[in-house]
Structure 1
Amino acid sequence: MKNISLLVYFCYLVTGPYTVRAQVPQTLDSVTVYLKNHTSQDTNYVRALNVMGRELHSTANPDYKRADSVLQLSEQLAMKLQYGLGLAKAYTNRASIYYLTDRPQQALEYFQKALTIAETHKLNPRFICGAISNIAAALSKLGQYDKVVAMELRSLRLQEQYNVQPRIATTYGGIGNAFRELNKPREALPYYRQALALMKTTKNTSGMGIIENNIGICYDNLKQYDKSLPYYKQGLKHAQEAKFELLQADILVNIGLALKLSKRPEEGIPFVKRSLAIAQKQGHQAGMATACFNLGQLYEELKQYTPAETYMLKALQSARERNNKEQINNYTQGLADLYGGMKNFQQAYAFQLERNQHIDSMTTVRTTAEVQRLVAHYKSQQKQDQINLLRQQAQIREEELTNKRLQTNALLIGGLLTLLLGAAVSAWLLNRARLRRLQEAQTLRKQIAHDLHDEVGSTLSSISLLSGMVKGLIAQNRPESVERAIQKINTDARQILEAMDEIIWTINPGNDSLHRIAIRLQEYAQPLMESKGIRFSLVAEPALEGLPISMEVRRNLYLIGKEAINNLVKYSQASQATLRFEHQKEQLKVVIEDNGRGFDPAQPSQRTGQSSMQQRAKAMGGSLEVHSAPEQGTSLVLITSLVAQ
């Protein structure tokens, strides 16, 4: 797991050239003296406040609270003076504070304000292009990578249109980040190299360190650790030159992880300890948690379980205090794995259960939000229907008043006949609907009974037999056999829990959408992929959110995806894997692909379940194709129609 305590690239207008007039000093001490002696609150005063705010939050020991207060004064004075450049820079500097203190939504809001002011006051093109790239930076931390690419391309087009020279490095870095997060490190590297060359041109040492850190992460994703480590070490050197301690902490953790992945965990420990010391000095809670967790993993790799347990518990405590859901999820899973390796199965089960409950609570929140959205939509539609009905009634009354008596009688007779016909049709439709619901209920009952018998019955029998054996083994004084039997009981119990969870999820009507399937498969695949060191990504089109799907099709689709993911993890030896959901006209296309060793589909293979997957695809009215070749990866493509759903 990569360290994510630092943003993947920094803001152009904060680290890049800061254009001010010569009479305004550029260091914290000199600008403090300037502000004391400069009594006139004019545009120069605004510039000086912006310089002070920038220096307070971008130094080795940042004072974010004081910087924000200074920049609020700058913002208020710039608005009073209608000074566009000063206001845009105040917004940008405030955004960068939120950006560095893990408040990306606030950072995005203020970066957008800065862009609006820059465009309204027609500031120079370089400033506007940089403001667009800053918005992309905040979007990147929010995980909205499609919007990141759109914003960065917009910035590039403007740079080309106005011939901005030199080009803005973070624009290229932003595109590189988006590709990297989309699990395309090879596509990311050329953009990073362009960004690095531009950073060197402007001698931006902190920017160089950030880009070199990201290049190192790309090579780690490609499992080329001999290439990643030199970039990390060069990036660390630049971060030290710039006195950028948060960046140093980030790179130090990545060096430790690269050494762990290259089977040199003992060498990685001193680097991560240095990262922890920096985070403690800065009081950076998220950085401390990240360093502690990764230290724990390094000690776990060395089978030094006592320090591993200590550090990982500290990391989890910090994540809980900050209610960082992503870290809580990762750390509880890490502790469950650690205790499993220690053969402390009671603790392993407790942390695994906590992680599952955490995932369930997140799912409940998403489900509640979806229900509220549907209810609001229903109420809105209901009101519109009432308005339409009132309009129709008013129109009928108007026609009745203007028509002649004979026409009115004819309408009444026709209306009576229509009502009779409508009543007859309604009765027929009602009976038909009742019959269909009875058939669906009967089918559902049979399916649940079948699943419970297959998934739960045999496993419970196994647990019963093993439980009976344990008593005899204890009497025979065979502790090793007792331990194996208890482990098997524990494994079977987990399987039952998972099976029951899948059955309940399958029959829950709240999950009748393709988006729910995508989320479910991602939650199933992620821990399996991480256990094998596979970089996994899910790509699902936003349009899937509104597409309903029947229970039976949903069940078959989920089981096909689960089987394919299991085969991928067991046999592919891949470093990257992708699950894509695409909506093409009236069809759904699901692609599961990896860059593993592949196989010859015409020859007998270890991969199992292909015939079962083919049968499920046929039951859905779709088709399943498997494309593979030795050393060329594997791609499974499922296509099914959405018309009947």
Structure 2
Amino acid sequence: MKNIFTFAFIMFAGFVHAQNTAVDSLIKVLEKQKEDTDKVNTLNELSNRLTFGDSSDYVKAQAYLQQSFALAENLHFKNGIAQATKLSGMMLYYWKADYAGAAEKLLTAIKIFEETGYKEKLADCYAFLGDTYSFYNIPESLKSLYKALNIYETLGLKKKAAQILSAIAMTYADRENFTEAIKYCNREIEVYKEIDSKSGLALSYTDLGDIYFNQANYDEALKMHQQALAMIRETGDSATNVNIFMAYLGIGNAYEQLGEVSLAAGNKKTADEQFAEALKNYFVIQKVFTNIKQPTNQWWIAHTSIPVAEIYTQSKQYQLARKYLQTGLQLSLGFKEYPMLRDAYKNLAGIDSAEGNFQKAFEDYKLYIAYRDSVNNDATDKKFQYEKMQYEFDKKQDSVKAVIEKREAMTAAELKNQKLIRNVSIAGATAFVGLSSFSFYRYRRRKKLQSEKEMLNERLRISRELHDDIGSTLGSISIYSEVAKNRSEKNENANEAIVKIGNASRELIEKMSDIVWSINPNNEGFGQLQNRVDAFAAMLLTPGNIHYNIITDEDVKHIQFSAEEIKNIYLIFKETLHNIVKHAACKKVMIRFSKHKDVFDMVIADDGKGFKSTTQNDGTLGGNGLKNMQKRAEQMNAVLKIVSSPEDGTKIQLSLEI
């Protein structure tokens, strides 16, 4: 398990601790200040420290931020408004994990800082926006980070530039582009050497350790993290410096994975020693943060509890493992850490299975599959959601801008009637806000009712599928189990029944995986469908030496399907490939996804022996598999055509109006 700490926390939290002015001192300064721009800056700084500092307090931070907004707007202090807007975005990010909401606030702050020309604050916004995007939109994340880097380098702010280089390096590492990751990491090291920053170099070695870890080079990863820890200690930094705990976490992760490698090689003694070293480093972090109930500290507890549980599971200390898993699960849900939730439920499934609680193991395994698929597909879906939300936001901003420009034009033309125009504008704005609020309320109400109806329909659909598909398979497993038991008691050969149990179990897992995948809201883009199609085609056709070619038109990649459509398209695809393998005796298969005007087409053609097609005559389909395909097409108002003739192959075309 590898967890890379976010750039945002390092940049905006780690260095807050090093500053000298305490919250109490700022409050005293605030009491003596007049209602001017200096007070706005003090209020913003208080909010910043109460968000990221040692004395973090969301309620107080928000209260100071509201005061800052009110005073800045009264003074028409744009930089103060922009800074407060940025801080409100940081709060959404840090306290509520609302990354899309945080991005919206940061984009607003960026527009203001661009107008005022406050370059450093503009770069800070781009830096934080880059980290915010990293949770769901990697291309936009890199764009924002590059903008921040360019500004910092132009201003000669080398320390901040190095921090951005670190963020870019780790973004590439997360995408497994290790060549670019190492390139930017080396640039980061050069900058820290230039400014003679040992703490910065320690952070660079931590970055290199993370990159080596992602490459599964655990020995080098361990060396880098140990070097980082030694360098931090040389600097004499505080024992609670965030970089120290990043090094401890990296060392623990490396030892844990080395233990896994040793165990797989059959060297249990070495594995036990490496697991013990991993626990030692994890417990250093646990000891410091267990009793401090702050979001940053709880993050550390979450990111060490699950690996500790994994090690205890290896040694069959299941009670201890459960204890740490429960802690890790609870905190991971709060942070929306899906990779950790995935690992935790996989571990729980293993423990339940080892203890003979197969029903619970199956439930945990389903959750593991759901979070695994969520981790794989979350970025694409969130990107679509953000682009939709950003479009609505921009449209709203353009509307407001148009109203303002119209009002200014009227003011210039009728200067003598300024008072009257102002009153009319205020009344119009009030009516506009009132109407917008009422419309927004009705829209939300309508969407809520629609969502509840869709949820009910979805629950009914899932219930039917679980009853029909899963229930029948479980029933067959139960019957085969009785047969195997009876034959075993009579000293007869039970292998046939056992094989059938195994086949039915694998079929059950496949069906459950399909159901979980189809109901996952992150899987409504064509990209997720294509990933699953590619994997299934490779798995089914390659072993039979069937050459296949998948062609996807560019326009198709931007289509968003409903959950019902994505499920039926995929299951029709699966059924078609199963029929090809079982009956076609073909050598080649062509699969094409295309879009013509408002129609999505999926065409699957083989060069096999074909059959006498009835679709050309009466539009009906023979065979249960073909009938099921027709039924699924009808469920989404699509048209399914099958054209085949003996010795001339088969072509299946699904057409869906979108």
State the alpha-carbon separation in 1 of the partners of residues 374 and 529 from structure 2.
17
State the alpha-carbon separation in 2 of the partners of residues 51 and 503 from structure 1.
50
Q: For residue 390 of structure 1, what is the aligned residue in structure 2?
A: none
Q: For residue 345 of structure 1, what is the aligned residue in structure 2?
A: 358
**Paired residues of 2:50 and 2:61 also in contact (CA < 8 A):** yes
Alpha carbons of structure 1 residues 618 and 326: separation in structure 2 relative to 1, 3 Å:
farther
181, 189, 205: which one aligns with 2:174: 181
Question: Which deviations, in whole Å up to 9, do the C-alpha atoms of 1:88-124 show, x marking residues without a partner?
Answer: 333344444443333323332332233222111111x
Structure 1 position 100 matched with structure 2 position 94: yes
Q: For residue 279 of structure 2, what is the aligned residue in structure 1?
A: 269
Report which stretch shifted further, 316-325 or 50-59: 316-325
Structure 1 position 49 matched with structure 2 position 43: yes
State the alpha-carbon separation in 1 of the partners of residues 71 and 54 from structure 2.
28
Alpha carbons of structure 1 residues 105 and 247: separation in structure 2 relative to 1, 3 Å:
farther
Q: For residue 142 of structure 2, what is the aligned residue in structure 1?
A: 149
DSSP-derived class of the 2:136 partner:
coil
Q: For residue 163 of structure 2, what is the aligned residue in structure 1?
A: 170
Alpha carbons of structure 1 residues 338 and 203: separation in structure 2 relative to 1, 3 Å:
farther
| Fraction of identical pairs, as percent | 18
State the alpha-carbon separation in 1 of the partners of residues 328 and 145 from structure 2.
35
Question: Which deviations, in whole Å up to 9, do the C-alpha atoms of 1:391-421 show, x marking residues without a partner?
Answer: xxxxxxxxxxxxxxxxxxxxxxxxxxxxxxx
State the alpha-carbon separation in 1 of the partners of residues 518 and 26 from structure 2.
66
Give the residue type in structure 2 aligned to 1:35.
L
Q: For residue 555 of structure 1, what is the aligned residue in structure 2?
A: 573
206, 214, 224: which one aligns with 2:207: 214
Give the TM-score of the pair, scaled to structure 1.
0.58
Q: For residue 388 of structure 1, what is the aligned residue in structure 2?
A: none
**Paired residues of 1:213 and 1:232 also in contact (CA < 8 A):** yes
State the alpha-carbon separation in 1 of the partners of residues 24 and 333 from structure 2.
39
Q: For residue 232 of structure 1, what is the aligned residue in structure 2?
A: 225
Q: For residue 421 of structure 1, what is the aligned residue in structure 2?
A: none
Q: For residue 65 of structure 1, what is the aligned residue in structure 2?
A: 59
- Cα shift at 1:147: 0.9
Question: Which deviations, in whole Å up to 9, do the C-alpha atoms of 1:212-247 show, x marking residues without a partner?
Answer: 433321111122223222433455564992565666
State the alpha-carbon separation in 1 of the partners of residues 87 and 473 from structure 2.
63
Question: Which deviations, in whole Å up to 9, do the C-alpha atoms of 1:315-336 show, x marking residues without a partner?
Answer: 3355567776664444222211
CA-atom RMSD, angstroms?
Answer: 5.4
**Paired residues of 1:179 and 1:187 also in contact (CA < 8 A):** yes
Structure 1 position 467 matched with structure 2 position 482: yes
525, 529, 533: which one aligns with 1:517: 529
State the alpha-carbon separation in 1 of the partners of residues 172 and 475 from structure 2.
47
Alpha carbons of structure 1 residues 10 and 215: separation in structure 2 relative to 1, 3 Å:
farther
State the alpha-carbon separation in 2 of the partners of residues 232 and 189 from structure 1.
16
Question: Which deviations, in whole Å up to 9, do the C-alpha atoms of 1:162-196 show, x marking residues without a partner?
Answer: 77667722332232122112112332122123234
State the alpha-carbon separation in 2 of the partners of residues 235 and 64 from structure 1.
33
- Cα shift at 1:257: 1.8
DSSP-derived class of the 1:281 partner:
coil
Q: For residue 406 of structure 2, what is the aligned residue in structure 1?
A: none
**Paired residues of 1:235 and 1:251 also in contact (CA < 8 A):** yes
- Cα shift at 1:351: 1.8
Alpha carbons of structure 1 residues 70 and 584: separation in structure 2 relative to 1, 3 Å:
same
**Paired residues of 1:9 and 1:211 also in contact (CA < 8 A):** no
Alpha carbons of structure 1 residues 34 and 322: separation in structure 2 relative to 1, 3 Å:
closer
Q: For residue 571 of structure 1, what is the aligned residue in structure 2?
A: none
**Paired residues of 2:166 and 2:184 also in contact (CA < 8 A):** yes
Q: For residue 392 of structure 2, what is the aligned residue in structure 1?
A: none
Q: For residue 72 of structure 2, what is the aligned residue in structure 1?
A: 78
Structure 1 position 260 matched with structure 2 position 256: yes
Give the residue type in structure 1 aligned to 2:483.
G
State the alpha-carbon separation in 1 of the partners of residues 93 and 518 from structure 2.
42
Give the TM-score of the pair, scaled to structure 2.
0.57
- Cα shift at 1:489: 7.1
Structure 1 position 3 matched with structure 2 position 3: yes
Alpha carbons of structure 1 residues 139 and 206: separation in structure 2 relative to 1, 3 Å:
farther
Q: For residue 119 of structure 1, what is the aligned residue in structure 2?
A: 114
Alpha carbons of structure 1 residues 265 and 504: separation in structure 2 relative to 1, 3 Å:
closer
- Cα shift at 1:493: 3.8
Count of aligned residue pairs for this structure pair: 467
State the alpha-carbon separation in 2 of the partners of residues 506 and 292 from structure 1.
28
State the alpha-carbon separation in 2 of the partners of residues 542 and 104 from structure 1.
28
Q: For residue 198 of structure 1, what is the aligned residue in structure 2?
A: 191
State the alpha-carbon separation in 2 of the partners of residues 321 and 166 from structure 1.
32
Alpha carbons of structure 1 residues 111 and 516: separation in structure 2 relative to 1, 3 Å:
closer
Give the residue type in structure 2 aligned to 1:122.
G
Give the residue type in structure 2 aligned to 1:100.
Y
- Cα shift at 1:295: 0.8
Give the residue type in structure 1 aligned to 2:527.
H
Structure 1 position 290 matched with structure 2 position 303: yes
**Paired residues of 2:46 and 2:64 also in contact (CA < 8 A):** yes
DSSP-derived class of the 2:290 partner:
helix
Structure 1 position 497 matched with structure 2 position 532: no
**Paired residues of 2:308 and 2:321 also in contact (CA < 8 A):** yes
Alpha carbons of structure 1 residues 97 and 227: separation in structure 2 relative to 1, 3 Å:
farther
Question: Which deviations, in whole Å up to 9, do the C-alpha atoms of 1:314-363 show, x marking residues without a partner?
Answer: 43355567776664444222211333355553432232244457789999
State the alpha-carbon separation in 2 of the partners of residues 617 and 214 from structure 1.
50
- Cα shift at 1:294: 1.3
Alpha carbons of structure 1 residues 195 and 130: separation in structure 2 relative to 1, 3 Å:
farther
- Cα shift at 1:542: 9.2
**Paired residues of 1:332 and 1:355 also in contact (CA < 8 A):** yes
Query: What are structure 2's unaligned runs of at least 5 residues?
Result: 260-273, 389-467, 538-552, 582-590, 597-603, 609-652
Give the residue type in structure 2 aligned to 1:153.
Y
**Paired residues of 1:132 and 1:155 also in contact (CA < 8 A):** yes
Alpha carbons of structure 1 residues 491 and 272: separation in structure 2 relative to 1, 3 Å:
farther
Give the residue type in structure 1 aligned to 2:573.
R
Query: What are structure 1's unaligned runs of at least 5 residues?
Result: 374-451, 526-539, 564-580, 587-614, 620-641
DSSP-derived class of the 2:573 partner:
helix
- Cα shift at 1:618: 6.5
DSSP-derived class of the 1:308 partner:
helix
Give the residue type in structure 2 aligned to 1:2.
K
Q: For residue 453 of structure 2, what is the aligned residue in structure 1?
A: none
DSSP-derived class of the 2:291 partner:
helix
Give the residue type in structure 2 aligned to 1:59.
G
Q: For residue 392 of structure 1, what is the aligned residue in structure 2?
A: none
State the alpha-carbon separation in 1 of the partners of residues 130 and 164 from structure 2.
9
**Paired residues of 2:332 and 2:341 also in contact (CA < 8 A):** yes
Q: For residue 88 of structure 1, what is the aligned residue in structure 2?
A: 82
**Paired residues of 2:476 and 2:504 also in contact (CA < 8 A):** no
State the alpha-carbon separation in 2 of the partners of residues 312 and 338 from structure 1.
11
Give the residue type in structure 2 aligned to 1:267.
E
Structure 1 position 313 matched with structure 2 position 326: yes
Question: Which deviations, in whole Å up to 9, do the C-alpha atoms of 1:591-626 show, x marking residues without a partner?
Answer: xxxxxxxxxxxxxxxxxxxxxxxx98878xxxxxxx
